[in-house]
Amino acid sequence: MIFAFGFFCMFLVIIPVIVPLFLDLGINMQEFLILQAYFGIIVAILEVPSGYLSDMWGRKNTLVLGSFFGIISVYFLFNAIGLTDLFLYQTLLAVSFSMISGADLAFLYDNDIGNKKNISLTQHKTNLMANYSSSKLLGETTAAILGGILAIYSFKHVIIGQLVANICLFIFASLLVEKPYEKMSKKNHWANFKETIQFLFNKNDIFIIFINITVWSLSTFSAIWLFQKQWQEDAINIKYFGYIWASYTLTSALFSKLVPPIRKKIGNKLSLLIICIFPLIGYLGMANFNSFTAAMFGYLFAISRSFNYVFLRNEMNLKLKSKFRATMNSIQSLFFRVGFFIIGPILGYIVNEYDIRIGYLSLFALFSLCLILFMTRLLKFNDWTPQEQNNLP
């Protein structure tokens, strides 16, 4: 059931055509990226409170409420005209996203059906993460194809398709069955917060992984918003947008399944280099080529995304206590959202005032610096055999 929820959680019909859809409503590229940064900061504000709510109130309740707000947000998008209405849509979507983010992974780790194979608990949890990531990306792939087809008729058809997907998400959230887990105290909130923060900063391995998850998630997220604008400038027909986007997400889904065996074969250091080097190559490729040739470099971002999610995010969750797992994932998402709140508007200004290729080269310079500052520390890290902490009552 949680895999079905993950499928519809990422069934984002609107994403492969979101740039032309929003531009069609009368905004420019800089305003579009400001909207995405605004969405990110609202999620950041709500992220930790919603994760904390999930740890105290229950993962299922939080997922159901988040899914409900997703339905409401699409209703407002259907009637949106101009920048003000899009801000309202992004606000409601941010509420939905923040409620789901963190709670779904916490539910996954604390409610799986158990290890039925003769493998270690750590390997079992790794396979669980890989399968969940694949289910989400298959949903994104299917939605991308559908979004591209619906856009041929009209953008309103795309929005209606998104509404149906969000209704399905709400249904599957309601059907989840939650097992008991160790909950945070409902009486001493300060003590809960203090314990969570101390766990993050006192355990050096957790913090190094935490920072790299954030940085390399930003490396792929910052670039993908430029893809559709580049496709438009290169005169690629909009009917191909969905298929190109679907091929990216299908690549991510495939590699999500392959990350555990690939990592076992090539080792941790080469796996980490895939996470950080592939986006850098992608920026250079996008900046120096046109049309479908440039689009081919998008697959590097898809592969990096899979390694980051299944390798690094899984490692972090294996080291977390169940009682603040959702909160910790929400804190990580908060760092990510604040990061894009800073990067997004600056990137939008560069693209508007100069050129989209200057935008790619700016990202190349930024994340080359991040490789030196953050990834080099992780490349020296050796503790990749955590004992999964599940502390059920």
pLDDT classification of 116: cutoffs 50, 70, 90: low
**Phi and psi for 80 in degrees, rounded to 5?**
-75, 140
User: Who contacts 264 (Cβ-Cβ below 8 Å, separation ≥6)?
Assistant: none
19-52: pLDDT as tens digits:
888 888 888 877 887 888 788 788 878 876 776 6
For residues 54-66, average pLDDT? 78
Run of H or E residues at 319? none
Q: Which two tokens stand for residue 213?
A: 């998850």
pLDDT at 303: 93
Minimum mean pLDDT range among 19-23, 155-159, 237-241: 237-241
Half-sphere exposure at residue 260, Cβ-oriented, CA atoms within 13 angstroms: 15
Rounded Cα–Cα distance for residues 272 and 291 (Å): 30
Q: How far is CA 41 from CA 91, 276, 354, in A?
A: 10, 25, 26
pLDDT classification of 388: cutoffs 50, 70, 90: very low
Task: Give the rounded percent of residues in the chain with a pLDDT score beyond 70.
Answer: 82
Compute and round to an integer the Cα radius of gyration of the chain: 20
Minimum mean pLDDT range among 169-173, 181-185, 373-377: 181-185
Minimum mean pLDDT range among 90-99, 167-176, 381-390: 381-390
pLDDT at 393 over 50: no
Please give the full DSSP string across 50-111, using - where no structure is assigned: HHHHHHHH-HHHHHHHHHHHHHHHHHHHHT--HHHHHHHHHHHHHHHHHHHTTHHHHHHHHS
**Phi and psi for 362 in degrees, rounded to 5?**
-65, -40
Which residue segments constitute the domains of the chain, with CATH numbers given? 2-175+194-379 (1.20.1250.20)
pLDDT at 131 over 80: no
DSSP 183: P
pLDDT, averaged across the chain: 80
DSSP 375: I
Please give the full DSSP string across 117-177, using - where no structure is assigned: SSS-HHHHHHHHHHHHHHHHHHHHHHHHHHHHHHHHH-HHHHHHHHHHHHHHHHHHHHH--
Query: Which range, 126-140, 216-230, 354-368, is most confident?
Result: 354-368
